[in-house]
Amino acid sequence: MKKVLGYILSPVCLLVFWLILGIFHPIQVVCWNLWGYPAQKRAADIMNYLIIKSLIILGSRVKFKGFEKLPKECPLIIVSNHQSQYDIPPIAWGFRKHHPRFIAKIELGKGIPSISYNLRKGGSILIDRKNRSQAIKEIIKLGKQIEANNYSACIFPEGTRSKDGKVKTFQVGGLGTLLKTSPSAAIIPFAVNGNYLLQRFPMGVGEKLTYSVLDPIERENRTAAEISEMCELAIKKELDQI
């Protein structure tokens, strides 16, 4: 029965998703040109909130956990697993007070209503995966930006989405660069649970989607590789994958 409902409700949910993006694209443009970044960010925040709420079409049960653990008055490096395109809205909304920036592939910088514009204007960076030098320079720029403004940066160390929800081995490179360029940032593991069920067709119906802030990782004298491994293990533990 769920699969039948999935075939019926998935097109509706996807249509609403694209309608939200289409409606908020000109809104963001107007906000940026008239009032600048604060207004554009507010518009993007509302857009992400509505995308999350639109999952009610599928009967999804959405839960945010652990956000009271977030430290204040310092930058954040959010280290998250990656399951689908729906990972971005809960991070953007949940961490909205911390002005989250994302590391996105350069192909997403144009052609996608609202998303491309928000990436370009909202302080995120676009990296060319085939150009290591360019990618490193952009990540350095992002690290310096969050350090100077007490903002946050989100990185998906798996490098690509997990189609079955199983956490892949974390890569150290990008995280290591952020750690060097934002030495005062708190390291926040973030567990996305259930979103891979939204990436397939038909989309999952009546699923529980949980977005969890885990205990910050203490830097002490740990290397980037050690911190990466600790984040990976913390997320796997939260998802019952150990």
* Residue-wise pLDDT tens digits, 101-116: 999 999 999 999 999 9
The whole-number pLDDT of residue 67 equals 97
pLDDT of residue 230: 98
| DSSP H or E run through 225 | helix 224-238
CATH of domain 2-238: 3.40.1130
Q: Quick check: pTM over 0.85?
A: yes
Other C-beta atoms within 10 Å of 55: how many? Answer: 23
Amino acid 242: pLDDT = 85
d(CA 17, CA 112): 12
- Name the token pair of 162: 């997990």
Q: Which residues pair with 88 in a beta bridge?
A: none
pLDDT digits over 155-169, tens only? Answer: 999 989 999 999 999
Q: Which residues of the chain have pLDDT under 70?
A: none
Domain ranges, ordered by start, for the chain: 2-238
